[in-house]
Chains A and B, each alone.
Chain A
Amino acid sequence: MSRTVWILLQLRDGKLHRMAREAITAGQALATAVGGRASAVIVGHETDAASQEAAAFDLDAVWVADDAKLAAYTPGAFVGTLVQAVRGAEVAPDYLVAPHTYQSVDFVPRLGQQLDAAVVPEAVSFEAADDGMVFRRPIMGGKLQARVRTRGEGLAVVTVQSGAFSASDATAGSADVRALSIDFSTVAADREILGVEQVGGDQVDLSKADIVVAVGRGVGGEDKMQPIHDLAEALGADIGASRPVIDNGWLPRDRQIGSSGQTVAPKLYVAAGISGAIQHLVGMKSASCVVAINKDASAPIFSVAQYGLVGDLHEILPVLTEAVKAAKAS
């Protein structure tokens, strides 16, 4: 039996979101793996530009739900629309694939619940098994990966992690743009949108920093930050941090690096006491040279580092600071 994959495409400013393109790659690959075809689904308002972009990929169709009620994202309106779309489909989908964005995570689990589907968040890869698909996803903050299987024949909803599939691997083609038939009179927002704000007002801009010394929870406390400042000064670096450092109030919010914070691409990134969760890695993976200092040799940060030092940062950093000073003086 041929399988149908629907790829839920997220828009940003009327265009396809960067991660929507990654989802196309993932959805096409999943369709191939299950022996079926993929279509795209766009939910929004004034979607012409985005649907034209999507139509340039090898897809069965680009299904569009376009209504003023969908101009601003709310889970109520998006879930309401997509439940109708799935239930009313000529060919019901077997898989829904969405990018693992903060918007998807907000509504996709609820969509899955409404459709009585299996929900697989944050898939990084999949493989066909005898009785269905097996998905790989990170657990324990990325320290481990789990292989999970969906039970039964029903619908599975999968979100794919940022960077797991490459946008440039999507197969080009040409697809028809078609309107989904949705009764929008029953679709309702469940939020009254009041606005968007920048976190913490004036931002320190780390995006152009040449060298970043980044500190994680492993530093052990606000009163133990001096070695970080000393190394940053010796290197002429900006200071960045992982989320717990900010949440604990050891540094201001505008120093946070990662999916909720800033994205940096320095030539040198020193990560001290940072485990390397994906939400941190997405903010620094473009650094040219990463040095990781961590007392746990199995910390995931070492998988993106060029040089790894296993040990106590409080022993290593003061020595490193002196060595950097000496190197610069000579």
Chain B
Amino acid sequence: MKIAVCIKQVPDTEARLRVRKDGRWVEEEDLPFVINESDNYALEEALAIAEQRGGEVVVISLGPARVKDALRKALALGAKRAIHLADAAFDGGDAAATARALAAVIEREGCDLVLTGSQSDDAGWGSTGSIVAGHLDWPHAWLVMGLEVEDGGSAKVTREMESGMNEVFRLQLPAVIEVQAGINHPRYASLKGIMQAKRKPIDTPTPAEIGLSADGVGAAGSKIEVLDVAFPSSGEGAEMIEGDAAAMVATLVEKLQREARVL
């Protein structure tokens, strides 16, 4: 079974964000990047399926040179090969443009199953995997909390619904499964894995090499343009209590007793 996992490299959620000078995105200089949280779970799910049923995992990512680190990490965890859509033409795309490129790579690879995270922690489109499936004309499922590949080319899928309920259904493979964080317990890379990853291949095809024109991908191929990003106006936010821990706590307890009357 050949499984492709699409991962995205995103700013660490712990990182302090600044708006870039041109106002259109966050400043990426000095920003720590990590593999998107739900993508980590997608990768683990793929590695576990490949181990159980035999097969290989190919990891795919779109983004600038820094994305190599995320791909190396995925290779260290057990992916066999990586494909890096690093050409500048791929940059700045919306979910539709990114998905078009990913679908073209997957088509070229010929995969039995594609796993992605459900949503990125940066742009948060929550759409990329579903659009990939649309291009491939495969079934898909978003927010998957359980996946069981079955003999005979189907999969049993558990999908999260609102308010603590799950829906269970079966779909036919090949399919795109968009994994939700918490589906499994992602492994850590071993020293051996990290050493081996250095020798594993990372392929960097251009748009033309995956059969797309440069104006069909990236910013040029997008229908959505980000005008600017900003910290939301805090509005009537919290009353901020100042001081050292002891002073803050003293003020807080007094307010909880006298003002809010909840203590």
Contacts and interface: CB of A to CB of B under 8 A. Distances in A.
B56 to A, nearest CB: 26
B166 A109 contact: no
B227 A190 contact: no
A184 B203 CA distance: 44
B11 to A, nearest CB: 7
Contacts of A308: 237-241
A77 B181 CA distance: 27
Nearest to B170: A192
A261 B226 CA distance: 32
A323 B245 CA distance: 11
A193 interface: yes
A244 B13 CA distance: 12
Nearest to B239: A307
Interface stretch (B47-55, B58-66, B140-148): B140-148
Nearest to B176: A110
Contact of B140 (A110, A147, A316): A110
Interface in A138-152: 138-152
Interface in B192-241: 222-232, 234-235, 237-241
A173 interface: no
Interface stretch (B1-9, B68-76, B109-117, B124-132): B124-132
A145 B249 CA distance: 32
B17 A143 contact: yes
B167 interface: yes
Interface stretch (A27-35, A63-71, A114-122): A114-122
Given A117-B223, A144-B26, A144-B229, A268 B134 contact: no
B169 interface: yes
Interface residues of A, number: 95
The SS class assigned to the A binding surface is mixed
Contacts of A108: 127
B135 interface: yes
Contacts of B91: none
Contact of B17 (A144, A197, A256, A260): A144
B167 A196 contact: yes
A288 B231 CA distance: 25
Given A303-B235, A320-B253, A197 B95 contact: no
Interface size class of B (residues with CB under 8 A): 35 or more
A64 B172 CA distance: 29
B263 A327 contact: yes
A15 to B, nearest CB: 15
A305 B226 contact: no
Given A121-B126, A144-B26, A327-B263, A298 B231 contact: yes
Interface in A279-306: 288-292, 296-298, 300, 302-303, 305-306
Contacts of B34: none
A218 B196 CA distance: 33
A302 B237 contact: yes
Contact of B256 (A117, A119, A268): A268
Contacts of B145: 199
A194 B17 contact: no
A171 B23 CA distance: 37
Interface in A180-202: 190-200
Nearest to A129: B227
B260 A144 contact: no
18 contacts: A109-B130, A141-B124, A147-B228, A150-B224, A151-B222, A154-B223, A190-B139, A191-B170, A196-B161, A197-B165, A199-B166, A288-B262, A300-B232, A303-B235, A307-B260, A308-B240, A311-B245, A319-B245
Query: Which are the 3 A-B pairs with shortest beta-carbon distances?
Result: A109-B127, A308-B238, A118-B223
Interface of A: 74-76, 101-102, 105-110, 112-114, 117-122, 134, 137-152, 154, 156, 190-200, 203, 211, 217, 243-244, 246-247, 249, 253-254, 256, 259-263, 267-268, 275, 288-292, 296-298, 300, 302-303, 305-311, 315-316, 319-320, 323-324, 327-328
